[in-house]
Structure 1
């Protein structure tokens, strides 16, 4: 085991800074802890401090660390079967594909990747290969690959041939009306705290009218917008679906499922990958699906998340910090007056033993019980009171304008049809009209 004995968190971070850590991603946007173990939703750092994870490891954990069924499945797989084979096909892959297609209405066939970013990039490659078109219309975060670097800005990127409509229905309708026969697909990440299923149904219907594949990026929501995600509600048809976080309970695995004819464009799209055949994560996913089968996990998580959401709302109201608390219990948002205040609140809570997501999106695992909820709320209350002691509090409601600002900051949502947004839609349409239509043929298709 790596030796960190006797080192403080800050000393270990300095050690990391010299050889591996990115200054912003690994240090500047994280709280100062280096963790050596985790069980359930509790983590232990190099100093021996016990800290509660209220991020579900950025959503990757659904059942909590060291869940017995998952541990047994992975250990048994490695011990009795191995890690990866020369063939890409295994019984685990076949069974997992069958079960995912049974679970989600969109699923006729499924293929696998390792990460959410790979899954979304695979989805647009499939859509382009199937349709023979190049334009992609998008809203929301779909990962860190090149085609997604401008996800917070409504606009058109000529290098990736991706136009971002910023969750604006008018924008999508306009772009499909102008360029529908050139659009390979529309891909949207659900934001359940901001848009209901009816909104996504309208987007799906709009795509269907123009003959454009509709792709729902459910990397996070597939197991957190209820047991089966947005598509699993049965209210929103999709042609492709991406699934990842929680699927293998922390093990690296993602899936793209959807219409058979689109998935069958896999070879034409030139998609490959050695580690898509790794077996233990698929064994983990099968174990997760077994645990979820009777519905008690989601019932429990909904209850614990509801207690946490209500408690945080009450604390902020009591202290006098204006806030907007919204969204489903398993992934709700807490919006305050600024990004800085959000950071300050959760940084202070960390000092009292709870690691919240500083952006304000909070997620529980099945390992949360009432004791964990109480600990999280106590840490949040103590941290919030500490921060509030230096603020001038107005005890009012959070202004609507701040809610709109948060949507733009968090996921690039240009929700209202105000003059600036309508003008921006005109600009994007003009950019797409003037694009170099010979560019796709000149680019390596590996660029997405």
Structure 2
């Protein structure tokens, strides 16, 4: 069996041309252990994406495997009741772990968690506008996240991480805003930024939600809210929580979570128990912080090594972010793809967008392998590429931020004009539309 033949087989019956094929390297994997994967041709490749962040401990971690198989064998998978002992225990432990936590509810994906969070915020507040920055999933309410603006159909206003935009929206519409929800981009904005956003929301009486679907287990040991430095009314989490098993959570203030019924949040598989058993195992394994200490050390070595390699081969780059999820920006998106495609040929599967994540299964051997593959790939591409600048132009950073997460980093004329247009659109929206839609729905 060959990779390309298998991809063609998938193309005929299931694969999306862009999402499944165009943005992936040409392997179909059949098994994985730790952070190593094996494809249909028997080739071993190192995963430097942590399965797009879903894995914290690595594939087939013994504690997680044991927890899930034991629960299925001894108890079952899903019950008629929505409540189970693992759900109750997991909620208790997450509320103890994160300062925002008073209650917790569960679903299957990050997209479901963020959608549930805004529906509960709308139901609890009785307001309809959601102000947002960053990616929160693929559901309809969030398709226009890359541009500052207002969507009257979804009542979503995007502020593009721009504090001028946020201040304007809160100053003029606080009484109509249900919540501000933001996804941390730790390579670009520090804790002080999120504290300011949190404080602004508190001053205006608006719920503040941190979308920690990725960062809850990667912004240090306990995520951004778990640092204790960034208060929030609710947080969402998913990736890493079940170590690859499908589970997500909204953890937050009682008054928001108690709007669960009013918001109409439901789902049969929100009660599936084995992923909750997996999550409890993850919390057990990571409880003392040693797993994160090790993973951060490996991630820092990888991050700093990649920075040094790019400098040595003469490719201008921006390399920044916490060790467990850092960004690498090079002069163009095409160049980024070319480098990682070449590294894949040498046995390492990097995320071509430039955001890299390691798992606890990384040891020095994995870091060395990733750096060797990356260096070979970068040198191959550097030999056929020339640059007329030594440092990455600021314009490239602005372009990356805009295209990757909708970031408007500076108050230039175009950004200020978009802010004015957005405020005008909110002020002149048709109030009848909100009345036609259940204010809790997205």
TM-score of the superposed pair, with normalisation by structure 1: 0.98
Q: Structure 1 CA distance, aligned partners of 2:431 and 2:199?
A: 27
Q: Structure 1 CA distance, aligned partners of 2:439 and 2:140?
A: 13
Contact preservation (8 Å) 1:223, 1:247? yes
Aligned 1:200-279 pairs, distance under 5 A: 200-279=194-273
Aligned 1:280-429 pairs, distance under 5 A: 280-394=274-388, 396-429=390-423
Deviation at 1:341? 0.7
Deviation at 1:393? 3.8
- Taking a change above 3 Å as real, the CA distance of residues 34 and 270 of structure 1, as seen in their structure-2 partners, is same
Contact preservation (8 Å) 1:134, 1:183? yes
Q: Structure 2 CA distance, aligned partners of 1:351 and 1:153?
A: 36
Deviation at 1:402? 1.1
User: What is the count of residue pairs matched by the alignment?
Assistant: 442
Is the aligned partner of 1:107 residue 2:97? no
List per-residue Cα deviations over 1:46-79 (Å, max 9, x = no partner): 0000000000000000000000000000000100
TM-score of the superposed pair, with normalisation by structure 2: 0.99
Q: Structure 1 CA distance, aligned partners of 2:424 and 2:387?
A: 46
Q: Structure 2 CA distance, aligned partners of 1:110 and 1:53?
A: 31
Contact preservation (8 Å) 1:321, 1:395? no
2:176 aligned residue (172, 175, 182): 182
Contact preservation (8 Å) 1:320, 1:394? no
1:430 aligned residue (424, 428, 438): 424
List per-residue Cα deviations over 1:367-410 (Å, max 9, x = no partner): 00000001001111111111112111457111122111111111
SS in 2 for 1:56: coil
Deviation at 1:239? 0.4
Q: Which residue of 2 aligns with 1:140?
A: 134
Unaligned 5+ residue runs, structure 1? 1-6
SS in 1 for 2:431: coil
Contact preservation (8 Å) 2:78, 2:272? yes
SS in 2 for 1:111: strand
Unaligned 5+ residue runs, structure 2? none
Calculate the aligned-residue CA RMSD, in Å.
Answer: 0.9
Q: Structure 1 CA distance, aligned partners of 2:42 and 2:439?
A: 49
Deviation at 1:415? 1.3
List per-residue Cα deviations over 1:119-162 (Å, max 9, x = no partner): 00000000000011100000000000001101111111111100
Q: Which residue of 2 aligns with 1:193?
A: 187
1:157 aligned residue (147, 151, 154): 151
Contact preservation (8 Å) 1:321, 1:394? no
Deviation at 1:446? 7.7
SS in 2 for 1:150: coil
Deviation at 1:263? 0.4
Contact preservation (8 Å) 2:263, 2:441? no
